[in-house]
Structure 1
Amino acid sequence: MEKKKNLCAMIPETLHRKVRDEQEKQELTLSQYVENVLKEHFERGGKAMDGKIRTLAFQISEELFGKIKEHLKKTGLSQKDFVINLIEHALEDEETAEAEGEPEAEGEPEAE
């Protein structure tokens, strides 16, 4: 695990309140929340939202949601990182299968 360093900054009270509310909603420690926010910022190249980011939203059962939350607590991942990792792995697996000439799995639409 990478060595950690402390980061302290004064911010306006209204922003502090928003940060703490969101952090609690995500059920993360403040350190985990701030780390996720900073990682997301730098993954975008350190730039503000420029319209090249898209939102993916869907509904799931309460039971599945609970299982995911438990997994996130254990791993320290955010919901976003968890879902993005799943999608990236599935796409990589598909690309690998296509490169090796494997037939598509049943139920998957054919590429046009």
Structure 2
Amino acid sequence: MRKHQELSLEQIIEQMRVDKLSSDDFCLYAKEYGELRLNSLYWVSDYPDVVEDRDVYPTDVAEQGLQLIYYGEQLIDVLAAALEEKPDASPQDLVEALKYYHQHDSFMPFEP
């Protein structure tokens, strides 16, 4: 995924589905942590560096005062697991899977 751009969660999900994203070398950031929404915009940038046990955010993130929303590795894993279990999952189903993972630290089970 191209970094240093603002995308909606719907665009990110679509890009993951179409391009079969395998590179998880990105993070999602936003001005404030709120409920994940399809039409909300998120800044795509680099992972924070860890210096002396502290996260040091990328310059573009720090300058905009953004907060970490999702690590790329987790986002790709959650979306891939959801699509494996439910290949016809709607974008909103995938948002629900992301929310579930964030709250429970486990993958959301889909009803058969």
TM-score (normalised: structure 2):
0.26
Larger Rg: 1
Which one has the bigger helix percentage?
1
In terms of fraction of residues, the more strand-rich structure is 2
* Higher RCO structure, 1 or 2 (CA under 8 Å, sep 6+): 2
